[in-house]
Amino acid sequence: MSPSSSSHVHMMKAQPFHVKYREIIRRMVFLICALLVFRLGSHIPVPGINNAALEHLFNANQGTILGLFNMFSGGALQRMSILALGIMPYISASIIVQLMSTVIPSLEALKKEGEQGKRKINQYTRQGTLILAIVQATGMCAGLISQGITLNSGLAFYIPAVTSLIAGTMFLMWLGEQITERGIGNGISMIIFAGIVANLPNLVLQSFSAVENGQTSIIGLVVLALLALAVLIAIVFIEKAQRRITVNYAQKQQGRRIFTAQQTHLPLKINMAGVIPAIFASSLLLFPASLGQWVGSTDPNAGFIKRGLQDLALVLSPGHTLYLVLFAALIIFFCYFYTALVFSPKEVAENLKRSGAYVPGIRPGEQTARYLDHILNRLTFIGAIYITFICLMPMILQSTFSMTMNVGGTSLLIVVVVVMDFMAQLQSHLTSHQYDNQTLMKKTTAHPKG
């Protein structure tokens, strides 16, 4: 190695932290700025809202579907900001497009066209988001007028309010895509995560206020804290758990070179669907329940449809039997559905066969696909029961033992899984950066300048 190349390598090693990890710092700064913009946007009010009447409405409906919807919007619904619809129209549109892609051959073919097909599906998802945002914004504004929360009615309120709510949802969709592309982590998950975490200080204050008011005891608060800690440990343990399937590579010869047989593992996670089933199930239940909450009426003189929508909102409120049953069924369904989307046993078996790999004792091809499918079904069942238990446990405890649960199981699951995914992607960026630096140093050593 020449003196010039040695000094160049030394300079690369001695680079300041902000220079050495410039790309990662840039992504982190973008993520923080994007989340700050999201939090600022949640404080911009929709024009024409009576804040006093809105506050009275939320105080009178604590623990209902409004609280759950408010959690996903990061408190924007309670302030009736331009981001009050949150990211839920986008999530609902994604569900619809993915469901349709399994039954419509043209959409299924688009999924197999690579990047071009993905862009087309994303375009359909954005169009669906716009349609759902229009419907939900109009329904929300109609509900606000019926509840007497607006300062005026008619087009004077509808036009600016509906436009603001639609623009807020479309902006959040765009912001989530930008975070995914230019930041760290999944943008939509990070926005939901930021909204949940932003409410944690209020939840802590509510817990201490409940102790002061005699609604719960200090012992009960400690028990809840220990229970939350145990749930956190269980979530981390199961999210990291894997079923490793042994895979052998046959000995092969290329020219005069002989490659010896190798053994590796195919890791299958217990919860391969992540937090998606909980979010999908919540969003599907939120849509009809929130529509009934806003548009429905308990007035006996109201129409049959309005009274029916109000009854629907009541039975679909968290803690009710029908809500628990539907929530559990939707979680289990989406666990199997999403796992089938992200992992295809037949495709994996074909890839193993083409690369000369096989599972010991299992014939390559169709038998390997059936073997993987059998294991995947059992793992998905365990993962579905685990997610259902985590999401429903706080509601069951609250309704059965009258315990005050300020943090829902869905919120807890989302926070832990998003943090773990964020750390994994950050570690991936760090590893990629170190690999790039090592490659550059090897090139500099092999081809010194001068």
Q: What is the pLDDT of residue 450?
A: 47
Strand partners, 243: 268
Mean pLDDT, the chain, integer: 79
Q: What is the CA radius of gyration of the chain?
A: 26
**416-431: per-residue pLDDT in tens?**
888 888 888 888 878 8
Sort strands 242-249 and 357-358 into parallel, antiparallel or unpaired: antiparallel
Number of helices and strands in the chain (H, E)? 19, 5
Sequence-distant (6+) residues with CB within 8 A of 398 are: 319, 404, 405
What does each C-alpha distance from 284 to 94, 127, 334, 353, 373 come to in angstroms?
11, 18, 11, 40, 28
pTM listed for this prediction: 0.75
* 241-407 CATH: 1.10.3370.10
222 versus 368: the higher-pLDDT residue is: 368
CATH superfamily of the domain spanning 1-198+430-450 = SecY subunit domain (1.10.3370.10)
Q: What is the pLDDT of residue 438?
A: 60
Q: What is the pLDDT of residue 381?
A: 93
Q: How confident is the model at residue 379 (pLDDT cuts 50, 70, 90)?
A: very high
The two domains 1-198+430-450 and 241-407 share their CATH topology (first three levels equal): yes
Find the mean pLDDT for residues 31-57: 87
**213-257: per-residue pLDDT in tens?**
766 667 777 877 788 888 888 888 888 888 888 888 776 656 566
Domain boundaries of the chain, sorted by first residue:
1-198+430-450, 241-407
**119-154: per-residue pLDDT in tens?**
888 899 999 999 999 988 888 888 788 778 888 878
Distance CA 61, CA 258 (A): 72
Residue 133 contacts residue 170 (beta carbons within 8 Å): yes
16 versus 440: the higher-pLDDT residue is: 16
**60-75: per-residue pLDDT in tens?**
665 555 666 676 677 7
